[in-house]
Structure 1
């Protein structure tokens, strides 16, 4: 393989590796943050900022740990002999196979695991490149396919157990009390203790390869971990508890966010004179809302009014029921939509969203107006009018591709038409979930921001290592001319670039998954969501400690089901949606493997001279 061919394959493979990382952000990260956004604890834009900070932090601190498993655990470096070109080509085809499959699924709002797509693609490439006998199908000291695919069943179950335990503690410590609000206030520092301890332990235990902690004694690990955890707990007791106590318990709605710096002095702050005669001014965290109130979160202020019985945090189009003739109404006056009518209502809702964007100022508003004013007319693309329109549309299309996701309204886009099969199914699921006071949920909305950041840190620690593994292998083979060594270091710049690409994928295209994942499995609220995210984060960090790639999507799904079952009945979970997700995980293995294997087989056996 000539030097210019090495460079060509490396460039092509790098493109697919970054595309796979982009799709990872648009798919897995979006699913992880869907819980917080759907629970109205954060807006989509706030999620973008927090995700970027903690994703990159987790990647740089811990991310290299799972990279070695992806790079060398499935196809040993020795299997390539001294042929760096074949290894380079193998990793390029692996990235391409995973990227193609996940990209297609994300485009069609289908939820799959980016981790298992990449692992399956590597296995398929290994069969085509070095033969099935050279692929590590067994446990292989915890780095083979047997160990990785064991997580397919273990990770969701373990995550569900952790999440259920955390939520049951909240349920019986706070929600079941006669006056739950003070209990929620005084117990909230425990979450800061857990989050700080878990994140710190993931960095110092067994030593972060990027911080030189691999030879530290157990006493150092214990002191640093507990010190950070209890320190964060103390800070929350000094600043967070007084703030939320004044805000919710004293019902002081004149309090500004920056006043939390006053700390314990807020306990002495007198409440408003009429505090006892009014409720605390907090957002409405109900999934199904009859109307939009002044206290709703930022994303819900533009929501249309919900007809009675609409499902999911899903906004039925305004006037949808009025546009249907009486003859099309079912028993009890409920509207029975045909498939064509339902699809039209979805298109109408999207058009209303675009009409709102066209009224905004800034680059995106200009781009949406430009696209609307220069729509393609009848005839082929070669018509003069269409060619001119296309030239005018190109700059606007670039801006929309970059900024459309940052302005997407997740709540109003989760369309649920009244009396559709899924709408009725979700109504039944929500009916089995007990609804807790908004004042209590408001407290846990702050906690959920913390748990979401912890989950994002965990994703950066695990999935960035997965995504960068094959890229690091390609870089080593290209730069040295020899197959990547099993103990080769993963360059820090590759971790940073991969983490940034994952964040860009979430920011620009994550809405496509988030809008369909929202509350589809069970009823969400901040107290439930914080339990789900913490349970998933703990599971991911445990697996990453043992260099086992695990799917963030599977962990958050397992945690969601675990919390849903805490309602006391299996009927509080949408099992149809769960089995659809499980089916997508299973079919990912052969499909991604076949795509990667076929690409490698074609590349290796291409006629050459």
Structure 2
């Protein structure tokens, strides 16, 4: 193969990579923010705005400078050395198979592991190209993935319960829960920032060798960062909370840094409803009030008003709008389609019994945890963008490298250009904005009732599980961890009816069929493409 041959594979690879990153945003990012939106800590629009920055910056700034072409040692790229173009075709088929499954699962609100999707696709390509003997079926390969189906949710659930239960018994159920919660807030800030700082430093900060530092040094730096954040929360955030939540003052978020210099700001009195003008008739009568005048000679009776005539006039006025105005309105409606959906499921009749089985706590105390939950969601999203972007960027980087050089990099790693990271980061954000609501609706309150304290515990438990498992080598998936954490929150109510077991069953089934379904799609595509005739006679 010569350099710059098979440009059509490279072009289709770009499109497929964008689609795969789109599916990552619609599924992985959505389940990262599902608990924050479901608990009410963030609105759907706020979550999308935050994720747009954290996911893109995480992918672009902290995206790995190299991405493994063949994930987890499942298949060696040395097998493609004699025919580099087959590696290009294989990565293309893997991207198509992964994108197809992840987008389809996202459309029906099923959280799946995007990492396992791309691995399953590569397994399918490997079997199609070299047979089953080319795949690592042992614990170093496929067996580790199967183990993660059980290890991830169980471990995350246990860690989440360890975080939530002390919070429930010592803070939420306390007779003076609000004051106790305010005193405990700095402790929670310390734990959250410690875990977040350790996670980011351990994974590697750009342009540094932080990931090569001794664990002791990383722990020391993390404790220093956590101490600074705790001091900030004690001197600024706690006084702000006392005045806003306890004192019921009209404070805004930007008063946080200058809270010691802000004078007392009482809440404005509630506005009284304005009375109807004299001489008008109630709307319930069926007559438009503005059609009635005070003067007897100018009175227009209800029977003289023809609503259909006015509707016709309104339709005519709409039809007279310029075409570009109609186009802008149409584009706006479709652009905001994904962020205007109700994903909290609070008024869902099917979920009423499940939500009622969960114990409710003081709203003001729960409000304290909403800020912590936003922080944990941002950290999880930033880390997700930096790590899982490789699921879409890695294969296209491999295609690009072979297309540019004409040879296979036998190390199994290919440099990821900045434009690939930027492209993938943008597609991830687009997937969340347009299709992420499906997974959020199913995973958040669709599994159990979530409040800010419950959502915070689930997110922190997930982050801690992933961090610890990465350190000791346990196979875990972020998607599986958040599902297990949310289920554990439901069980902490002491009532198995507080959990939607049907939804959990569908989630587990989707994890089991991810590898065979994606592998079958990618394998069949590769078999078709690699055995196609070169010329048509």
TM score, norm. by length of structure 1: 0.73
Q: 2 CA distance for matches of 1:552 and 1:204? A: 19
Aligned to 1:205: 202
Q: 2 CA distance for matches of 1:504 and 1:417? A: 27
In angstroms, what is the RMSD of aligned CA positions?
3.3
Q: 1 CA distance for matches of 2:49 and 2:335? A: 16
Matched, 1:134 2:131: no
Structure 1 residue corresponding to 2:341, chosen from 402, 408, 417? 408
Answer yes or no: is the 8 Å Cα contact 1:63–1:495 preserved in 2: yes
**Residues 570 and 407 (structure 1 numbering): CA distance in 2 closer, same or farther, change over 3 Å?**
closer
Q: Could you tell me how far 1:135 is from its partner in structure 2?
A: 1.8
Q: 2 CA distance for matches of 1:394 and 1:257? A: 37
**Residues 576 and 54 (structure 1 numbering): CA distance in 2 closer, same or farther, change over 3 Å?**
same
Structure 2 residue corresponding to 1:445, chosen from 363, 367, 370? 370
Matched, 1:470 2:395: yes
Matches within 5 A, 1:155-170: 155-170=152-167
Q: 1 CA distance for matches of 2:408 and 2:190? A: 44
Q: Could you tell me how far 1:111 is from its partner in structure 2?
A: 3.7
SS in 2 for 1:137: coil
Q: 2 CA distance for matches of 1:150 and 1:6? A: 39
Q: 1 CA distance for matches of 2:356 and 2:423? A: 45
Q: 2 CA distance for matches of 1:217 and 1:590? A: 40
Q: Number of matched residues?
A: 489
1:163-189 CA-partner distances (Å, limit 9, x unpaired): 111111211220121100011111112
Q: Could you tell me how far 1:449 is from its partner in structure 2?
A: 0.9
Q: Could you tell me how far 1:3 is from its partner in structure 2?
A: 5.2
Aligned to 1:115: 115
**Residues 396 and 237 (structure 1 numbering): CA distance in 2 closer, same or farther, change over 3 Å?**
same
Answer yes or no: is the 8 Å Cα contact 1:454–1:534 preserved in 2: no
Q: 1 CA distance for matches of 2:431 and 2:519? A: 23
Aligned to 1:460: 385
Aligned to 2:291: none
Q: Which moved more, 1:522-531 or 1:487-496?
A: 487-496
Q: 2 CA distance for matches of 1:468 and 1:549? A: 22
Q: 1 CA distance for matches of 2:242 and 2:331? A: 47
Q: Which moved more, 1:5-14 or 1:61-70?
A: 61-70
Aligned to 2:42: 42
Q: 1 CA distance for matches of 2:507 and 2:237? A: 38
Answer yes or no: is the 8 Å Cα contact 1:39–1:526 preserved in 2: yes
Q: Could you tell me how far 1:373 is from its partner in structure 2?
A: 7.4
Q: Give the number of the structure with larger relative contact order, counting CA–CA contacts within 8 Å between residues 6 or more apart.
A: 2
**Runs of 5+ unmatched residues, structure 1:** 282-293, 295-368, 375-388
**Residues 16 and 250 (structure 1 numbering): CA distance in 2 closer, same or farther, change over 3 Å?**
same
Structure 2 residue corresponding to 1:586, chosen from 473, 488, 512? 512
**Residues 115 and 529 (structure 1 numbering): CA distance in 2 closer, same or farther, change over 3 Å?**
same
Aligned to 1:259: 255
Answer yes or no: is the 8 Å Cα contact 2:338–2:433 preserved in 1: yes
**Residues 40 and 8 (structure 1 numbering): CA distance in 2 closer, same or farther, change over 3 Å?**
same
Q: Could you tell me how far 1:553 is from its partner in structure 2?
A: 2.5
Q: 2 CA distance for matches of 1:187 and 1:417? A: 34
Aligned to 1:187: 184
Q: 1 CA distance for matches of 2:420 and 2:466? A: 21
Matched, 1:224 2:224: no
Matched, 1:523 2:449: yes
Structure 2 residue corresponding to 1:436, chosen from 351, 357, 361? 361
TM score, norm. by length of structure 2: 0.82
Q: Which moved more, 1:456-465 or 1:104-113?
A: 104-113
**Residues 256 and 103 (structure 1 numbering): CA distance in 2 closer, same or farther, change over 3 Å?**
closer
Q: Which moved more, 1:493-502 or 1:400-409?
A: 400-409
Answer yes or no: is the 8 Å Cα contact 2:5–2:403 preserved in 1: no
1:159-218 CA-partner distances (Å, limit 9, x unpaired): 112211111121122012110001111111223222322222123226457533244344
Q: Could you tell me how far 1:398 is from its partner in structure 2?
A: 5.0
Q: Could you tell me how far 1:220 is from its partner in structure 2?
A: 3.4
The structure whose Rg is larger is 2
Answer yes or no: is the 8 Å Cα contact 1:113–1:585 preserved in 2: yes
Answer yes or no: is the 8 Å Cα contact 1:207–1:216 preserved in 2: no
Q: Could you tell me how far 1:40 is from its partner in structure 2?
A: 1.1
Q: Could you tell me how far 1:429 is from its partner in structure 2?
A: 2.1
SS in 1 for 2:450: coil
SS in 1 for 2:364: helix
**Runs of 5+ unmatched residues, structure 2:** 273-314
Aligned to 2:91: 91
